[in-house]
Chain A
Amino acid sequence: MTATTRRIEGVNIIDLSGRITIGEGTVILRDAVRNLLQRNEKNILLNLADVSYIDSSGIGELVSSFTTVGNQGGKLKLLSLTKKVHDLLSITKLLTVFEVFDDEARAIQSF
């Protein structure tokens, strides 16, 4: 898994690529979010377009990131879910928790 961060109009977009699974994948996501929070960057958009697979630990890490950012007064939103990731978040009722966008520009405007 790789995580690359870019900043557009005050929103930090983390482009994730690969698999968010127990071990390396979840650690990379956690570190990417933590690094932004340490710089007081609290508007975070996770781009999941190139995430091919998420296991239950990965889902847990998304939730954990969401609550950590929220507890610090920030917002964490999701961009470009693949169908399978969408299905996983739907069946776990997490689409009621996360704000999800298909369009990056609209996602940025929402912060």
Chain B
Amino acid sequence: MPSPVLLVRGFQFVELHPRFMSSIESTVEVRIRSSLDYTDLVENITNNLTFLAGCDSDPAYFIEMAVREVVINAIRHGNQYDLDKQVRISFRFDADKFEVQIQDEGKGFDFEHLPDPCDPSNLLKSSGRGIFLVRSFMDDFSLTYVPNQGTLVKFVKKLSRS
């Protein structure tokens, strides 16, 4: 039976033994239009890559969650579903860490003053937890507005292997 193959932007990644892949740094970049129809695709790519990186199930789960939350934010709030705008997702991983950068083409937002979803006055609000969850489960997190380019979110999950 042939090995599963992942095609991303013209590159072909044949599934290799995770230990081999995790011993070298790998970079994969994906660009999608601003439609939620692509979130499952991005999630599948993320899961393929965390597997190649040799992630244990818990960090793989939280990386998948983080990518999904930030990509959905980029599509909804950043690019406001404008199909002419793209979301760029860049994955970089090696034996020690899994790093993701996600950039939209939006006008940015006041991320310095995001309400705390755990504040008692916000607990019953139905939104506003996405970034909080990513911050909580990733080891490093940053959010930057690049003028005329969009919002860039970076996060890193350190990998410890069982």
Contact = CB atoms under 8 A, between A and B. Distances in A.
A72 interface: no
Interface of B is mostly: helix
B126 A94 contact: no
Interface of B: 36, 39, 61, 65, 68-69, 72, 117-118, 123-127, 129-130, 132-133, 136
A63 B126 contact: yes
A94 B124 CA distance: 9
A53 B136 CA distance: 17
Contacts of A96: 123
Contacts, number: 47
Q: Which of B69, B126, B133 has the most CB of A within 10 A?
A: B126
Interface of A: 21-23, 53, 55-57, 59-61, 63-64, 66-67, 84, 88, 91-94, 96-97
A59 B98 CA distance: 26
B121 to A, nearest CB: 12
Nearest to A60: B126
A91 B126 contact: no
B20 to A, nearest CB: 29
A59 B129 contact: yes
A92 B36 contact: no
